[in-house]
Amino acid sequence: MGPVLTLDDLDFTSHSEGQTRRLGERLGALLQPGDVICLQGPLGSGKTRFVQGIARGLRVAGIISSPSYTIVNEYRAPNGIVLYHIDFYRLDESSFPGFDPEQCIGGAGVAVIEWPERGARFIPPENLWLKFRHVDESKRGILMSAHGERYRELLRAFRRSAFGI
């Protein structure tokens, strides 16, 4: 199925883990400091694969893994942009007293947040929200929703880059 388009949404299917990474890479190449990307979906739906692609698009070297037990992994791109890979799956403020959402989310770096619904109080109203869903064993549906003008522009640029539309 081809992408379904509206002004603020884009719904499409990724056919493999590799394609999910490549789509993330397309988005990562467009990101700027201060951007907030939220990735919602069940376990195994492709969120971390997408973040691996985002890191590649930002030119971050090294292994990108899920920060489930640390809440935040920080990676620096060669151009100085910091990627904050945040995972709220096990969020418990008493367990992670050093977590500073103001430093990581909407600040000088790019914040990519898995399980954002579990830390909703930390999410700014303007963001790009992706909902991942299982289609079958290898396919994933991804619904991208732009909240705010910066993210509508980002979504338009992603459409052009990923799908040529």
Q: pLDDT at position 98, please?
A: 62
Domain count within the chain: 1
Residue 47 lies in a domain: yes
Q: pLDDT at position 107, please?
A: 85
Q: What is the pLDDT of residues 9-33, one digit of tens each?
A: 999 999 999 999 999 999 999 999 9
> Taking the model in full, what pTM does it have?
0.90
Q: What is the pLDDT of residues 41-66, one digit of tens each?
A: 999 899 999 999 999 999 998 888 77
Q: What integer best gives the mean pLDDT of the chain? A: 89
Domain that holds residue 145: 4-91+99-150
Beta-strand pair 9-14/140-147: antiparallel
For the chain, how far is it from start to end, CA to CA, in angstroms?
15
The SS3 call for residue 119 is helix
Residue 87 lies in a domain: yes
Residue 163 lies in a domain: no
pLDDT score of 95 more than 70: no
